[in-house]
């Protein structure tokens, strides 16, 4: 009887060891798949025949997530968002791997016949891409290149490009190119001049007054709106309607050297800055009213060149700039007796709001 008890004890120990080894082996052979839905609405995700709902950015601003623990190997998936073409594919997972796939909508190109007739309209297509659970570090706001001292007897025409692509400016027959989100200083003799500017299919003509020893800033923006025309099957390809370019005066930073040089303000004279405070200026180059929040207070800044100037106690501040369609956050330092100026614009191609330190 005692011998039988020993045998049973040994069997139980062996069984526990086998179960532990099996559990360890099973865990070692597992992997994780995370799906992030960056589409506005809910996505239906099917993996190996099992259906999972994944909420979108309309309920979770950063995108809904679905985390699955799976065995290593190949898995087949399909996904669907109402009103778009779905996606199908395979994902290969290795033991211990954690893989993240993001889902977004992309717009297909229309199908056009050799005769220029629309055969198929553009459509939304659901696509998957390699993503990460760790958000990328925000890029520092672009810093404008310093202005150069003006030659004696000349003025500076400073072209500031707030459009998300290269801007070409023809000044009296000479072509200058301003990089996307950059600026270019052109030194010219005093007098009134004419120019034409273009970016993509948009253009504008205008004139500017150049004054000796003065920097004159011209900011170029492009209106937001639908860029894609309506494609009707069986009809000729529609001609895209170019978006309007607008030009606004820009208040510029003046070089430390060359005291006689000065800048033409965007509108009126700047506010006086108390000795124990600093000044924050905000220029809104978006074609609609901007809500700018700083120091726990919200301000409305008119669109198309509207300007806000406020005096603040020196220190570090965070801010939020927003419209009904886009928003951006940032930080800035206010120094006693000095002014800091930021400009807010909208990238038409991506719909992303951008903030620049002037």
DSSP state, 24?
H
* Under 8 Å between Cβ of 79 and 126: yes
pTM of the model: 0.51
Domains, in order of start, for the chain:
28-130 (2.60.40.10), 137-264 (2.60.40.10), 268-358 (2.60.40.2890)
- Is residue 316 over pLDDT 80? yes
Band of pLDDT at residue 138, cut at 50, 70 and 90: low
Which region among 87-91, 125-129, 191-195, 222-226 has the lowest average model confidence (pLDDT)?
A: 222-226
Please give the mean pLDDT across all residues of the chain. 79
* 99 three-class SS: strand
- Is residue 13 over pLDDT 90? no
User: Which one, of 127, 161, 163, 99, lies nearest residue 38 by Cα?
Assistant: 127
- Is residue 266 over pLDDT 80? no
Band of pLDDT at residue 145, cut at 50, 70 and 90: confident
pLDDT in tens, 74-115: 999 999 988 888 899 999 999 989 999 999 888 888 888 888
The pLDDT value given to residue 350: 63
The pLDDT value given to residue 156: 92
Question: How big is the CA angle at 257 (ends 189 and 148), to the nearest 5 degrees?
Answer: 45
* Under 8 Å between Cβ of 32 and 69: yes
CA distance 121 to 63: 28
- Is residue 129 over pLDDT 70? yes
The top-scoring range by mean pLDDT among 10-24, 140-154, 228-242, 331-345 is 331-345
* Under 8 Å between Cβ of 37 and 54: yes
Q: What is the mean pLDDT of residues 19-47?
A: 75
Band of pLDDT at residue 254, cut at 50, 70 and 90: low
β-bridge partners, 220: 161, 247
The pLDDT value given to residue 94: 92
Q: What is the mean pLDDT of residues 166-177?
A: 91
Q: What is the mean pLDDT of residues 138-157?
A: 78
């Amino acid at each position: 009887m005692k011998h039988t008890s020993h045998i049973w004890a040994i069997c139980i120990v062996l069984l526990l060891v086998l179960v532990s080894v099996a559990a360890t082996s099973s865990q070692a052979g597992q992997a994780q798949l995370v799906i992030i839905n960056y589409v506005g609405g809910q996505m239906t995700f099917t993996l190996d025949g099992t259906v999972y709902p994944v909420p979108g950015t309309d309920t979770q601003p950063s995108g809904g997530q679905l985390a699955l623990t799976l065995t290593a190997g190949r898995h087949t998936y399909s996904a669907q968002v109402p009103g778009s073409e779905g996606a199908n594919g395979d994902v290969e997972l290795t033991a211990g791997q954690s893989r993240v796939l993001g889902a977004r909508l992309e717009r297909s190109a229309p199908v056009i016949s050799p005769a220029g007739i629309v055969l198929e309209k553009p459509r939304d297509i659901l696509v998957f891409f390699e993503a990460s659970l760790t958000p990328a570090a925000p890029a520092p706001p672009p810093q404008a290149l310093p202005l150069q001292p003006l030659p004696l007897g000349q003025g500076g025409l400073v072209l500031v490009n707030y459009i998300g692509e290269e801007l070409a400016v023809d000044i009296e027959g000479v072509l200058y190119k301003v990089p996307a989100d950059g600026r270019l200083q052109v030194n010219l003799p005093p007098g009134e001049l004419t120019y034409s500017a273009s970016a993509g299919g948009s253009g504008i003509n205008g004139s500017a007054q150049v004054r000796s020893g003065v920097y004159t800033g011209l900011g170029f923006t492009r209106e937001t709106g639908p860029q894609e025309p309506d494609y009707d099957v069986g009809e000729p390809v529609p001609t895209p309607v170019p978006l309007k370019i607008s030009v606004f005066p820009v208040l510029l930073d003046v070089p430390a050297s060359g005291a006689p040089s000065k800048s033409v303000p965007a509108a009126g004279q700047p506010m006086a800055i108390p000795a124990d405070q600093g000044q924050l200026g905000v220029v809104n180059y978006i074609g609609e009213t901007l809500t700018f929040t700083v120091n726990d207070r919200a301000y409305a800044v008119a669109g198309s060149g509207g300007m806000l100037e406020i005096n603040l106690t020196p220190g570090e501040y965070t801010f939020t700039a927003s419209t009904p369609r886009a928003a951006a956050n940032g930080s800035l330092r206010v120094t006693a007796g000095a002014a800091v100026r930021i400009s807010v614009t909208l990238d038409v191609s991506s719909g992303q709001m951008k903030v620049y330190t002037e």
